[in-house]
Structure 1
Amino acid sequence: MDNAFHDLYEDKVRPYLDFIDSLRALGVDQDLPLPTIVVIGDQSSGKSSVLEALSGVSLPRGGGLMTRCPLELILKNVKTDEWKGMIAYKDYEKKLGDPSEVEREIKTAQDTVAGKNNEISTERITLKIESRTAPDLTLIDLPGIARIAVGSQSHDIEKTIKKLINSYIKKAETINLVVIPCNTDIATAEALQMAREVDPSGERTLAVLTKPDLIDKGAEEQVNKLLRNELVFLQKGYLIVRCRGQQDIDNKMSLSEALKREMEFFKSNKHFRQPLAEKQATVPCLADRLTSELVQKIKKSLSTIESQLQSKVEETNQELASMGDTPSDDSEKKSFLSNKIRKFCNDIIALASGDFSQDFVSDLKLFPFSRECFEKWHCYLKEQESDLETKDDFRNKVKDNVESSYGRQLPGFLHYGVFESSAKYLIRKLEEPALEMQKEISDKVKSVLTELAYKHFAELPKLLKETKVIIDKIRQMQEDEANQMIKTLFRMESMIYTQDAIYSSRVELMEDTEEYSMHDNNKGLMSTESVVSHLTTHLKIYYKIASHRLVDLVPMAIKYYQMQESITKLQGEMFSILQMRDLVDELVEEEGTAAEKRRTLIERRERLNKARLALIKF
């Protein structure tokens, strides 16, 4: 019956654990989060004792920080009495023939991975154990939370450890096993607080209480309240264990003997008989619970893992495709260069035409930026027009000009010279804002084209440099031409002209809204105030006509020279690069990190595809 139960258990549990372990062995956890149990606790919380009791082997012990990098513990229950072990880290792997080797090998591994100065490393050590007494379980042990640097440790050791712990426990796929000693203020345990920060509801957190034999007399009920989930609520609740203490270790107590003593302790202790009866006490109960929790988590995550693997493979293939194949001979190099330039030109054409089917081009937002600038230009012209209606400054300036002209002009004549000079003054004030807008858009065009160049040529530094030189040259050329056109527009506006019919219609519209007629000069000589009012009205009319021309002509000039012509010329210059045969070798030369990036992407694709195949077989 025991064998039959064991076989059934293995059929239901072991495949899930083996599947996730195989993905982790492939390195898939670099690409997507996998269901995991991580063990965290304050320094000297009894974490090592719990792991020893689960694994059946001794782990590094002593004063100070003993776990200095993540330790992946893969435990497998087997029917035979043969004990097998294996430790792996970096490119090193070693089979272990006896449990007594484990502690020494872990110390050596930590010194290799994290150095001999008690520093912390994020690189993982993997320890696999197969034995008759081991549970079917995989978990990751993380360094205990240390508050004070010891010896040669860096002063920010606590911050470093917390950052490492947080990188694991914040993932939704992680089950957090928090180890808390009973003889401390459990509610304020740092490890529990960290777990609750990333898992406020406690749905991913399971706490295990240690050192129940060290509880002060009378404090047992407080511990039982925790076990009943009445103090600090966790959806997964609490368990309690009693592992070997330092004196037990000094007395050479074996782990099997410690398990027997643990059972006797809970059976004989009146305060903890109930948790034992409810399977909330002892290391074996903890092992069963952890295995059950992990398998449930894996089952729920399978569909997510499948979709994430598919998404990651597609993403990796796209990145590799964007890099192109590594060219070897002259023909391949020219073809490679041609493809790179063609793709770049396709993007800048899409940018100029407003074809935003490609997300990256759309994200550059050149058109929205220019449109916003043109809208600000429109608003500025309207504000200036409004100022003529509401401010006295302009009217006073016209009055000064009228009074200054009396010495040379007989009374009764309209002051056209004053009108003309005032109109030119109004238009001239608009030239500087127009040039500033042109400069702003010129800077944006350069920024956008440079960003596109980096997207396409980041791994080809010499081609990128050549492209940036071309962009700078075209930018300066087109900025000069746009400036010249805008200045020409304003020189044309200085002529003070519009069609008679247009001006007359504007005058008629104005007369309908004014309190006086613009032709009352037939009734006699006009006063200075009347002349100023008439001139001001005429200036308002002419300003509206001129500003209505400029509100479109200035943006059209900028769009033509800065956007359309810049991109057309850039396209021509880029294709002319292909004619520089003596430069092809240099231009397709990759930067040092590009080849490494390609190799990394290929490796990632291989392990993701292996993981997908493993999932299909599973």
Structure 2
Amino acid sequence: MSSTSTGFSTPDSTADHSDAMSDAQSTSSNALGLLDPQVSEQRRRIFDLINRLRNTGVQSEISVPVIAVVGAQSAGKSSMIEAISGISLPRKAGTCTRCPTEVHLQWADASWTCDVSLRRDSVTVGEPHATPFGSTITERSQVTERIRRAQRAILNPSRDPDDYLHGPEPQADDSSFSSDCIVLKIRGRDVTDLLFVDLPGLIVGGIEEERELVEKLVRDNINRESCIVLVTVTCETDFENQPTYKLAREHDPDGSRIVGVLTKPDRVPPGGEHLWTAHIKRENSRTKNTEWFSVKNPSHEDLRAGITWQASRSAEDQYFASAEPWLTLSRGAFASQLGTANLTKKLSDMLYNLMLERLPLIQQELDAALAKTQASLKDLPPPPSSEEPVSEIVRMVSEFTREADSQTQGVPEADGLLQQMSGAEEVFQTDIRLTVPNYKPWRSDDQQRSYMPSFDFLLHEEEHLRAGRGPSIFVDQVMRDARSAVTRELPDNYPFVVQKRAILQFVDLWRAPAFRLFEVIQARVEALLLKLVSSDAHFGHYDKLKKLVGPIVIAHIAVRAQETQQRLDFLLAMEAEVKTRNVHYFRSYRDKFLALYKGVWRRRTPQARRILGEPSPERETSSDPGSPGSTRSYLDSEAGTPPPAHYTTAYAAPREVPMRPPPTPPLERALRALYDLGLTRLEARDLLVLMRSDPEEDALFIMANVRAYFQVAYKRFVDNVPLAIDEAFVRGVVVGLQTAILTGIGIGGRDGFETCQRLLQEPEHIKRRRDELLEKESRFKEAHRELMRFTVTS
């Protein structure tokens, strides 16, 4: 016997082995699995189709029928598999099943062979789904050692599998269990068509992490409707203490795809035989939905003595034909549920029928998976062009700059760039308006402060703007500044610098709002362009290209921003030179402000109060200075005029008195007299000029000039600043943008072609995803061809 195997006896000499195989092949009933190898052509073609489909690697996505062998450790699972397959599994200490082993048994009119390969669930894209592990085996004695080495290779994915194929092996393993799979393809004249997966045995106790890993591996395999679950239960341990059947029923509640196997029937404790035969006879209420079998495999002593496979099968038949209670079962209706041959036939029939039943579903699943994979491929960006990388990048940059130009010109969308800028421009206009000089046409020490009428002539222009909040500026302050500036001027004349200084005080405040507006717009333009850069619409998934274009765009924005800031500085410098050609507009506002200021100033005198009319106490106390409701007509009648004589306050009938016209008020008489002299367009306020001039009234003229110029200048400025930003930066940012990007990339340089090729390399995750999908598509198409070939030849 080979020194590396403790399984079925396998003679070392070729001659002896040939004699043994000759004996095994002498009758058709001696084929592995004890089934007639000359099965129907249809059955063989079905199993051949299952093998070919699994060879394509689609079983992870398509429910290809398979038998999963599950059981607890030491439940006799390995011995049962040896009995079905005719090979010996490793039995040394520490060599229990630690990864799935997929066994393809296929009848062939040829000498016996076995091919071993490794199939990894998470292979590197582009690598074969399954890789051969060594050359084809033609001697059964070599299978055990090859399987042991293959399992070591599976448990050490970081190393080259060839390290474990020949010679000394590395000692330590990367992992204790793995979901990767060993695949055995056994062919020969004495082989029955069958396919099953031997899963690691469930662990009772032990390390929790390993126990959970093995249980998950089992669950992942048995939860599909296309899986027949072969549950092995040993008769030497209480049924309730073995979790395998309970686990299987969780995934198949009605038990229709579960086959139960009782192993080690010779280990049943005395008196407990009926507990086990109840499963076979379906007398156990918990397991009666499952069909149960029992097999008797060689003991460790038999294996050490070198028992052959044929001898072990004969011993099994002898045991069930002589030992109670199995003898009674073998003579009745349950004889077909005893022995490996009957079990193998049952499994083969179930797998065959399940495949016939699921063929249409497999076709549907395959078509759906192929369509989904192809749709996912279409969702990926097109692969880069390796022939014209320069033209490809020029195209991308051109499309990007066209989109940038469209966005900066304006798009009819609520979140468009210009729509976002509108709010910032309104804030800027308000901030400039709030710098208005807050003139008060009375002295700062005036004990009886006058009320300030609202500027009715501004309401239609600025009703949506808040009034200025600057500090109050009084007449005595203006006169003090004016007198301090006098040099060689004639009496009652003041230099222009007085007004210019007052104007520059509010113009100096305009710099901060103007640059705040630009900062907001710059940030939004930059965010827009970088969003266009990072989106897949223009530069796809080419991260290297995006990472290069982004800083180039930012640098270009910085250049345009500096130019725009220079324009703003120019506008501010221009406003520092006090000048306007809008003479009519300026004079109109000056006259209105001067009349209002004079009206408030001169109202301090009794004559002015009589001319203008005293504001009523109710109006004065209830009106808010600066509000439209506080305006008082200067044509109000003189306060305190007594009622006509014919009115009485006595509670009695009125006396009959002759009707006389009421006396004419003095103000009305004066205006009527001037009207008769030909001065037809006078109002009450115009009579104020007849009053004796007050030297401090020169301050009112300065105040009116400055306040009127503010109206001219601020409206000019709140237009010019947004226009300059829009022209120089918003629309100007796209000027030269394409050239800047292409130059920054180096497209016209000596290494331009190579640079473009490098930039158009797909990101690794996109490339990996594309390769995965292409590999899937290839496998699905191959599986589809196999199905079509089967359909055509059926």
What TM-score bracket applies, with the shorter chain setting the length?
0.5 to 0.7
Q: Distance in 2 between matches of 1:265 and 1:568?
A: 96
Tell me which residue corresponds to 2:378. Answer: 318
Provide the residue aligned with 2:781 in structure 1: 609
Distance 1:262-1:467 versus aligned 2 partners, 3 A rule: farther
- In structure 2, the partner of 1:175 is 228
Match of residue 425 from structure 1? none
User: Does the Cα contact within 8 Å between 1:17 and 1:137 map onto a contact in 2?
Assistant: yes
The answer to whether the Cα contact below 8 Å between 2:396 and 2:539 also exists between their aligned partners in 1 is no
Q: Say whether the 8 Å CA contact 1:312–1:608 is kept in structure 2.
A: no
Report the CA distance between 1:526 and its aligned residue.
Answer: 6.8
- Rate the CA distance shift 1:149–1:233 in 2: closer, same or farther, 3 A: closer
Contact 2:90 2:148 in 1 (8 A): yes
The structure with more radius of gyration: 2
- State the partner residue of 2:68: 38
Amino acid in structure 2 at the alignment position of 1:213:
D
Give the corresponding residue for 1:469: 551
Deviations 1:156-210, CA, capped at 9 Å, x for gaps: 4334434444443344543333323233344453444554555555555444332
Task: Check whether the contact 1:442–1:479 (CA below 8 A) recurs between aligned residues.
Answer: no
Q: Distance in 1 between matches of 2:402 and 2:255?
A: 52
How far apart are residue 18 of structure 1 and its match? 1.3
The answer on 1:525 being equivalent to 2:618 is yes
* Equivalences for residues 227-266 of structure 1 within 5 A: 227=280, 228=282, 230-232=284-286, 237-266=291-320
Q: Aligned pair 1:450/2:479, yes or no? A: no
- Residues 339 and 221 (structure 1 numbering): CA distance in 2 closer, same or farther, change over 3 Å? farther
For the pair 1:586 / 2:586, whether they are aligned, the reply is no
1:139, distance to aligned residue in structure 2 (A):
1.4
**Superposition map of 1:463-612 within 5 A:** 463-469=545-551, 525=618, 580=748, 582=750, 583-589=752-758, 590=761, 593=764, 603-612=775-784
For the 8 Å contact 2:533–2:539, the answer to whether it is kept is: no
Instruction: In structure 2, give the amino acid aligned to 1:613.
Output: R
My pick for the range that moved more, 235-244 or 56-65, is 235-244
Distance of aligned partners of 1:247 and 1:586 in 2 relative to their CA distance in 1, 3 Å threshold: same
Separation (CA, whole Å) in 1 of partners of 2:61 and 2:406? 33
Aligned to 2:192: 135
Does residue 73 (structure 1) correspond to residue 100 (structure 2)? The answer is: no
- Aligned-partner Cα distance in 2 for 1:168–1:586: 49
Q: % of aligned pairs identical?
A: 22
Structure 2: which amino acid aligns with 1:525? Answer: E
Distance 1:19 1:343 in 2: 52
Extract unaligned runs of 5+ from structure 2: 1-27, 30-34, 119-130, 157-170, 424-445, 459-464, 470-515, 564-614, 631-729
Q: Deviations over 1:369-404 (max 9, x none)?
A: x69xx9xxx9xxxxxxxxxxxxxxxxxxxxxxxxxx
CA distance in 2, matches of 1:235, 1:349: 73
Superposition pairs for residues 348-359 of structure 1, below 5 Å? none
Aligned to 2:269: 216
| Distance across 1 between alignment mates of 2:155 and 2:534 | 41
Q: 1:479 to 1:12 in 2, by over 3 A?
A: farther
Which residue of structure 2 aligns with residue 106 of structure 1?
Answer: 147
Identify the residue that residue 273 of structure 1 maps to in structure 2: 329
**Is 1:83 matched with 2:167?**
no
CA contact (8 A) 2:264 2:297 kept: yes
Kept after mapping to 1: 8 A contact 2:248/2:258:
yes
Distance 1:164 1:149 in 2: 17
Q: Deviations over 1:307-362 (max 9, x none)?
A: 145326625753787224544xxxx332454577689899999999xxxxxxxxxx
Q: 1:285 aligns with which of 342, 354, 359?
A: 342
Distance in 1 of aligned mates of 2:255 and 2:407: 49
Alpha-carbon distance between aligned partners in 2 of 1:78 and 1:613, rounded to the nearest angstrom: 23
8 Å CA contact 1:32–1:308 kept in 2: the answer is: no
- 1:87–1:127 CA contact under 8 A, matched in 2: yes
| Distance in structure 2 (CA, Å) of the matches to 1:236 and 1:475 | 76
Q: Distance in 2 between matches of 1:314 and 1:184?
A: 52
Pick closer, same or farther for the CA change 1:23–1:409 going to 2, 3 Å: farther
Distance 2:306 2:103 in 1: 24
Q: Quick one: which amino acid aligns to residue 94 of structure 1?
A: S
Q: Choose between structure 1 and 2: higher helix proportion.
A: 1
- Per-residue deviation, residues 57-87 of structure 1 (Å, max 9, x unmatched): 211114445223222211123577x433222
Name 1:307's counterpart in structure 2. Answer: 367
Q: In the alignment, residue 789 of structure 2 is paired with which amino acid? A: K
SS at match of 2:293: strand
8 Å CA contact 2:194, 2:348 repeated in 1 = yes
Q: Which residue of 2 aligns with 1:333?
A: 389
Question: What amino acid is the match of 2:145?
Answer: R
Query: Once the 2 structures are TM-superposed, how far is the Cα of residue 290 of structure 1 from its aligned partner?
Result: 2.1
SS in 2 for 1:95: coil
1:189-200 aligned within 5 A: 189-199=242-252
Relative distance call for 1:597 and 1:524 in structure 2 (3 A) is closer
Are 1:28 and 2:88 counterparts? no
Contact 1:229 1:237 in 2 (8 A): no
User: 2:215 & 2:785 partners in 1: Cα distance?
Assistant: 36
What is the aligned partner in structure 1 of residue 137 from structure 2?
96
In the TM superposition, residue 141 of structure 1 has moved relative to its aligned partner by 1.6
RMSD of aligned C-alpha atoms?
5.9
In structure 2, the residue matched to 1:555 is none
**Whole-Å separation in 2 of the counterparts to 1:193 and 1:568:** 74
- 2:551 maps to a residue whose letter is V
Partner in structure 2 of residue 503 of structure 1: none
Instruction: Provide closer, same or farther for how the CA distance between residues 98 and 8 of structure 1 changes in structure 2, counting only shifts above 3 A.
Output: closer
Q: Is the 8 A contact 2:260 2:291 kept in 1?
A: yes
Query: Are the equivalent residues in 1 in contact too, given 2:454–2:628 (CA < 8 A)?
Result: no
- Give the aligned residue type for 2:618: L
SS of residue matched to 1:38: strand
SS in 2 for 1:96: coil
Rounded Cα–Cα distance in structure 2 between residues aligned with 1:202 and 1:408: 104
Q: Hey, what does 2:669 align to over in structure 1?
A: none
Shift of 1:137: 0.6
For the 8 Å contact 2:62–2:362, the answer to whether it is kept is no
Code of the aligned partner of 1:246:
H
State the secondary structure of the residue aligned to 1:178: strand
The verdict on how the C-alpha distance between 1:321 and 1:526 changes in structure 2, with shifts beyond 3 A counting, is: closer
Query: Structure 1 residue 617: deviation in Å?
Result: 1.1
Within 2, Cα distance between the matches of 1:52 and 1:595? 44
- Native 8 Å contact 2:399 2:538 kept in 1: no
Shift of the 537–463 alpha-carbon distance from structure 1 to 2, 3 Å rule, reads farther
Mapped to 1, the partners of 2:284 and 2:397 lie a distance apart of 67
